[in-house]
Structure 1
Amino acid sequence: MNIKILALMLLAFCAQPVWSQTPPASTAAPDSVALTTRLALRDLWVEHVFWIRNYAIANQAADKQQAKVAADQVVDNATKIANSIAPLYGQPAADQLLKLLAGHWGAVKHYSDATVAKDSKGKQAAVADLTSNAKAIAAFLAKANPNLPEATLVAMLGAHGGHHVAQIDELAAHDYAGEARTWHMMRGHILALADALAAALVKQFPDKF
């Protein structure tokens, strides 16, 4: 199945955006804010895939309590990311990004739930939702930052979505060796994606970095 999806999250680190944190003059380096932003983005993206993986594991084990904890963390992570862009792009843009991220999570959750239910049509519908949402997020990010080509975003995020789907399928099949390989690729891809986003931000807002 040719899976193209999304999963783009723009920036930040926590409620306090990293680019507004000015280090002491005695320790500041010319690239310190840019580096801090890059590392913060990496943390957020890794948290995204970590908590979705935890949800899939708990969901397949019928552990509703742990599944809820993981789902809440996914939402909290997305909310922090969305709110963090407000200083650069405004609160309406942050609200729009949160809706798009919620759509991404909803589609991945749907795929996980359909896998547990052995609902092949539900899985197909979830992939269709992921594909549509990926295009919407790519368009949003490309419009916000001209250094992020829309076609490139769709391709990069297609790989990210494919990792989610492959991981869920491998966990369901108890193919742990396969899932370990997927996790390795997923984590490396997420870090590369975070770095690309950080570089685009530095280029668009050089005065902030």
Structure 2
Amino acid sequence: MKFRTLALLLLVTLVQPLWTQAAQEPAKVTGDSASLTTRLALRDLWVEHIFWTRNYAFANQQHQKKEAAAAATEVVANAKSIANSIAPLYGQPAADQLLELLAGHWSAVKHYSDASVAKDADGKKAAVNDMTRNAQGIAKFLSSANPNLPEDALVSMLGAHGGHHVAQMDALAKGDFVGEAKNWAAMRQHMQVLADTLTAALVKQFPDKF
């Protein structure tokens, strides 16, 4: 089972839970397993986001254009998967709006990486400002869609996510791979917390779906 197809997981009645995946034994989704499957799927999608953005930043820093381009393509594909995951619950127009916001996040992250390679301090500052405004936009969108997601809490959470991107790219620029590894551990854990927060809010808002 491929976790990035979350949109399908929310529509079907038979899935293959993670714990039976190796045995390839389909199981009927009940309330608990549906919410668990959704949580794991969202974790996978958001960790994939930081995986490919990290690949872009590293390749960009090493002037590996082909590798950077391939990673950028995957970042965009992942953003589409994240956005489309909400379509079954909120509709395609909402998914399209989320994709536009995620595109803004990626644009700011990419801008920071490019400015870092060019040693452009003003560009890096502008990118951070864009990341901050975009985080506020995403928080507003999610909180308006789901009353169980307080906007202020989301702004803090997404702001911390942007901070992880910045710290990661700064460490890569300095060749501080030990520091970057520590940042990655915190970054990955933070993405899991974000995914779990979103899942809990969805389960609370749509109990009949879970």
Normalization by structure 2: what TM-score? 0.90
Which residue does 2:182 correspond to in 1?
Answer: 181
Which residue does 1:101 correspond to in 2?
Answer: 102
1: CA distance between counterparts of 2:144 and 2:80? 21
Are 2:11 and 1:20 equivalent residues in the alignment? yes
How far apart are 1:30 and its partner, in Å? 3.5
Secondary structure of residue in 2 paired with 1:31: helix
Q: Which runs of 5+ in 1 are unaligned?
A: 1-11
1: CA distance between counterparts of 2:45 and 2:27? 28
Secondary structure of residue in 1 paired with 2:125: helix
Alpha carbons of 1:28 and 1:104: their partners in 2 closer, same or farther (altered >3 Å)?
closer
Please list, as runs of the form range in 1=range in 2, the aligned pairs for 1:119-134 lying within 5 A after superposition: 119-134=120-135
Which residue does 1:114 correspond to in 2?
Answer: 115
Letter in 2 for 1:120: A
Letter in 2 for 1:133: N
How far apart are 1:27 and its partner, in Å? 4.8
- Check conservation: 2:7, 2:84, Cα contact below 8 A: no
2: CA distance between counterparts of 1:190 and 1:131? 17
Are 2:60 and 1:69 equivalent residues in the alignment? no
Which residue does 2:145 correspond to in 1?
Answer: 144
Alpha carbons of 1:99 and 1:36: their partners in 2 closer, same or farther (altered >3 Å)?
same
How far apart are 1:141 and its partner, in Å? 0.2
Which residue does 2:56 correspond to in 1?
Answer: 55
Which residue does 1:193 correspond to in 2?
Answer: 194
Secondary structure of residue in 1 paired with 2:14: coil
2: CA distance between counterparts of 1:15 and 1:31? 16
RMSD: 1.5
Over the matched positions of the two proteins, sequence identity in percent amounts to 66
2: CA distance between counterparts of 1:14 and 1:188? 22
1: CA distance between counterparts of 2:9 and 2:164? 28
CA deviation map 1:38-90 (0-9, x unaligned): 00000000000000000000001111100010000000000111122112111
2: CA distance between counterparts of 1:20 and 1:140? 23
- Check conservation: 1:170, 1:179, Cα contact below 8 A: yes
